[in-house]
Structure 1
Amino acid sequence: MQKEYTVTVYTEDRIGITNRITIIFTRRGINITSLTTAETEIPGVYKFIITVMSTREKLDKVVGQIEKLIEIHRAFVHEEDEVVYQELALYKISTKSLESGDIERLIRDHQARILTITADYFVIEKTGHQQELTDFIKKLEPYGLIEYSKSGRVAIVKWSRRFHEHLKELQASSEA
């Protein structure tokens, strides 16, 4: 049965690694719905956070193929309850909506905040899960929603401490 999974991949910093990882998903017919990457707390080690709809069996095969790439330290498949995650959304709204004052209450009630205000528009920032962010769009539309942009998933794995200790040991041995 298909459901949403988060795949984390720890890599070295190499040109073309994103392409090499995504091709493995493409060959298996798995669509990536979100991909975020950034350097970890260990210099030179990058973490890919990939969100997909798939079956566990297919993903286990994909992770096995990914781990065969030379630049990969490890790759993992996570169920939703194994990760703490958020996404970030920015909403550009017409400044005219500030005149009534109703939108300020809406922003506060949804734990969002205003990042910037210009003569023509202002930008709201909100973090949350995907459905929460898209539901907020519907509430903002009557106020003159101009534009919306959302990040991919940012996640922390609940049980990853031992693996991070392993990465730190690798870093220490390479520095010695």
Structure 2
Amino acid sequence: MEKQWFTISVYSENNVGLLNRISGIFLKRHINIESLNVSKSEIDGVSKFTIVVHTTERWTHNIVGQIEKQIEVIKAFYHTDDETIYQESALFKIASALLFDERQIQNIIKENNSQIVTVARDFFVIAKSGRRNEIDEMYDQLKPFGIMQFVRSGRISVSKEEMRITALLNEFYQEK
């Protein structure tokens, strides 16, 4: 089976230690988590983990099954990149002098649809949202000028198809 990118969405109660147990599931199988984001979901009191892995569908299916065995997990899903709409965000800290002395920096900012979020005496910060490859391209363009700091967020994503998690939760809470 061929490896591909999968986005795993995990809906769960917000309990201490769950992230550790979920990451342990990947560790046992020697599968690297390429990206991880945890936030509140569209449902009050329910958290959403967004986990990106590069592996086979069989491994992803097995991992999702193991994740769902965790007591706090309500439901887990996995999708290919074609089945989701996703973004990442990045911040680039660059020396302030370059903003005024290097016209190419201004062109890079404009061409990459990014924005300057702050300017200080010694540095300025550029924000870029987009797909991983778009952020990588901007990184490669800025690297020759010197990047003082760089940070990238985990993937955030929504599925193209309806997830029906609200209906599942209503059933779940009615059974209790």
Taking structure 1 as the reference length, the TM-score comes to: 0.91
The 3 A distance-change label for structure 1 pair 28 and 61 is: same
RMSD value, Cα:
1.8
Name the residue aligned to 1:78: 79
Name the residue aligned to 2:69: 68
1:34-73 residue pairs with structure 2 within 5 A?
34-73=35-74
> How far apart are the structure 2 equivalents of 1:108 and 1:98?
12
> How far apart are the structure 1 equivalents of 2:173 and 2:32?
37
> How far apart are the structure 2 equivalents of 1:132 and 1:49?
20
Aligned residues: 173
> What is the Cα deviation at residue 134 of structure 1?
1.3
Structure 1 unmatched ranges of 5 or more: none
Name the residue aligned to 2:7: 6
> How far apart are the structure 2 equivalents of 1:108 and 1:3?
32
Q: Give me the identity figure in percent.
A: 38
The 3 A distance-change label for structure 1 pair 87 and 104 is: same
Q: Which amino acid aligns with 2:11?
A: Y
> What is the Cα deviation at residue 172 of structure 1?
8.1
> What is the Cα deviation at residue 31 of structure 1?
1.1
The answer (yes or no) to whether the contact 1:97–1:144 under 8 Å persists in 2 is: no
> How far apart are the structure 2 equivalents of 1:80 and 1:164?
23
> How far apart are the structure 2 equivalents of 1:107 and 1:132?
12
Name the residue aligned to 2:152: 150
Structure 2 unmatched ranges of 5 or more: none
> What is the Cα deviation at residue 165 of structure 1?
4.1
Taking structure 2 as the reference length, the TM-score comes to: 0.91
The 3 A distance-change label for structure 1 pair 136 and 40 is: same
